[in-house]
Amino acid sequence: ATREETLGFQTEVKQLLHLMIHSLYSNREIFLRELISNAADACDKLRYAALDNDAIFEGDSELRIEIEHDAEAGTVTVRDNGIGMNRDEVIENLGTIARSGTAEFLKQLSGEQQKDARLIGQFGVGFYSGFIVADEVTVRTRKAGTDQGEGVEWHSKGEGEFSVADIERQAHGTEIVLHLKEDAGEFADDFRLQNLVRKYSDHIEVPVRMPKTETARDEDGNEIEGSETVSWETVNEATALWVRPKSELTDDEYKAFYKHVAHDFSDPLTWSHNKVEGKLEYTSLLYVPGRAPFDLYERDGARGVKLYVQRVFIMDDAEQFLPLYLRFIKGVLDTRDLSLNVSRELLQQDPQVEKIKSALTKRSLDMLKKLAKDPEAYQTFWNTFGSVLKEGPAEDHANREKIAGLLRFSSTHTDSATQDQSLADYIGRMKDGQEKIYYIVADGFNATKNSPHLEIFRKKGIEVLLLHDRIDEWLMSHLTEFEGKPFVDVAKGDLDLGEVEDEDEKKAQEETAKAKEELVKRVKEALGDEVQEVKVTHRLTDSPACVVLPEHEMGYQMRRIMEAAGQ
Ligand code: ADP
Ligand code: MG
């Protein structure tokens, strides 16, 4: 080695190293995820650089990551044939922390080990995480496309300084040798390493390989000394399904993947696979399940997508990317817009998250709209998740109209408890001159269907939506109109049938009202403070009388909910 020099770590690196070593004890295995992720990045970078300079592969374009261990020496090696680093890059990348926000993050640490361990585990630690399990790290690297004499060796004990030296290195790319601490020997183990690779890096598309030693045996079954041959075995799946082009994927593959992601044994109703490039960069694969999970209505129920950052698995159930009313959607989000070190806490503060959420919300609503073209499948969806989707208009004002288009109702058109009529259907059947969408809310289908408020509507052949779910009044308090047609609760306020009523009818009604003034007065006296007002009505054709709520009054359902809540 020549040009050897010893340099000090940047102050923040020293702080970080100290903290990691002392506080990440219970989560040590993440070092492998971090090193594999860096190796995969390096392969990505080389692949990109080779796009307009094929020679940079140096004849070795089969990108791969290799993991080896030596139990006797107590080492684990992670090697890639990616882009590699030159001397300056080594000093810059492995001696400082370039990541913005790191200093801020370090300030938040309290010095209390347990608390910090949680924080730092979520923050993630990149290359330096090697020092959680190693008391000595050696890096050998050479930048792809440079002379073999331009290799660099970096070495450190993680105690404040590191050395760099020029070396001769045949292969391009990087090799990281961890000299395991005495109490971290467990990682120099085939089985352990394989499990970790599968756990964290299954969907990294670069193959992660481990050596498999085979020994020939003689006729008596004894191993023949010196006959060992080593073959490389790919340990991870090495293909991220969502990364593959849609045209290559079969329905069966999509369905199989759904079952894996959703832990469901039945088929999904539909899915939507999208790759987005530009301001946001992400790939999403979202599914609508065919069954409701047991915890759909539980506050702490599992929800959200499986989050990957650049194909590295980050977390299950990342709930920040979908609104609550779409909590039934399952799937995967893989993005370049977040750091690998992102945690649930950090997700809440990241402005990119909100943008992706709004994009995924749109995707999901579009996917449901498409599903609605298949009425049978959509009915299955609606019967399973309809009352969850009904939370939408209250939660998501921006998409109110879209959500409203996806709603299904019972209606006097069918007089069936099955909720299968859309608002578009209703509008298509509106009478000449009808400007409003009429509905009634009550507890239970029969209560709506048999309501005396419907009499006049039935007589005139005007359709009324029959709302009988617990959430319906809440829903309607957040829906004011659809396609410009206002919603009207037929049980509230004065009934205005608009132009559906003709002039003659109005006149006749006024005359009746006058003729019955005396009766109205007597009824009012009899009821006293029980009512606000008594009026002659034209709502009824068969029943003699009905109770009407003022227009802006809380409905019966809401009253009952508020009462139950002790208000
Ligand atoms: P991050 O991956 O978030 O940038 P890390 O601490 O994991 O942070 O790595 C720091 C930097 O070191 C990387 O950005 C990269 O430039 C460099 N690096 C680390 N590992 C490798 C590798 N295997 N090959 C090439 N460069 C690497
Ligand atoms: Mg990294």
Greater model confidence, 233 or 300: 233
Ligand 2 centroid distance, CA of 45 (Å): 13
**Mean pLDDT within 391-408:** 97
Residue 174 CB–ligand 1 contact under 6 Å: yes
260 has a pLDDT exceeding 90: no
Q: What pLDDT was estimated at residue 122?
A: 46
348 has a pLDDT exceeding 70: yes
- C-alpha closest to that of 488 among 445, 460, 457, 455: 457
Residue 202 DSSP code: T
Residue 250 CB partners (closer than 8 Å, separation 6+): none
CA distance 247 to 260: 21
Q: Which residues pair with 411 in a beta bridge?
A: 465
12 has a pLDDT exceeding 80: yes
For 385, list phi and psi in degrees, rounded to 5: -120, 0
**Mean pLDDT within 80-104:** 85
Residue 310 CB–ligand 1 contact under 6 Å: no
Residue 171 CB–ligand 1 contact under 6 Å: no
CA distance 531 to 526: 10
Q: What is the pLDDT of residues 508-557, one digit of tens each?
A: 777 777 777 888 788 878 887 777 777 777 666 666 676 777 666 666 55
Cα angle 245, 247, 251 (rounded to 5 degrees) comes to 105
CA distance 302 to 122: 20
Q: Which residues pair with 155 in a beta bridge?
A: 138, 163
Kindly write down the DSSP assignment for every residue of 28-39, as one continuous string.
TTHHHHHHHHHH
Q: 3-class DSSP state for residue 445?
A: helix
45 has a pLDDT exceeding 60: yes
Residue 77 CB–ligand 1 contact under 6 Å: no
ipTM of the assembly?
A: 0.99
* % of the chain at pLDDT higher than 70: 86
Q: What is the pLDDT of residues 282-303, one digit of tens each?
A: 999 999 999 887 778 877 777 8
Q: In Å, what is the CA distance from 105 to each residue of 12, 30, 127, 380, 393? A: 10, 19, 17, 48, 38
CA distance 35 to 41: 10
Give kind and range of the element (H or E) at residue 81. Answer: none
Ligand 1 centroid distance, CA of 38 (Å): 5
Residue 106 CB–ligand 1 contact under 6 Å: no
- C-alpha closest to that of 290 among 403, 408, 379, 392: 379
Ligand 1 centroid distance, CA of 30 (Å): 15
Ligand 1 centroid distance, CA of 94 (Å): 8
**Mean pLDDT within 122-136:** 82
- Residue whose CA is closest, atom 20 of ligand 1? 38
- Residue whose CA is closest, atom 17 of ligand 1? 93
pTM of the model: 0.60
CA distance 149 to 526: 106
CA distance 301 to 168: 56
Q: What pLDDT was estimated at residue 555?
A: 64
Q: What pLDDT was estimated at residue 417?
A: 95
Ligand 1 nearest atom to the CA of residue 173, by list position:
24
Ligand 2 centroid distance, CA of 411 (Å): 57
Q: What is the pLDDT of residues 26-43, one digit of tens each?
A: 778 889 988 998 898 898
Ligand 1 centroid distance, CA of 103 (Å): 18
Residue 124 CB–ligand 1 contact under 6 Å: no
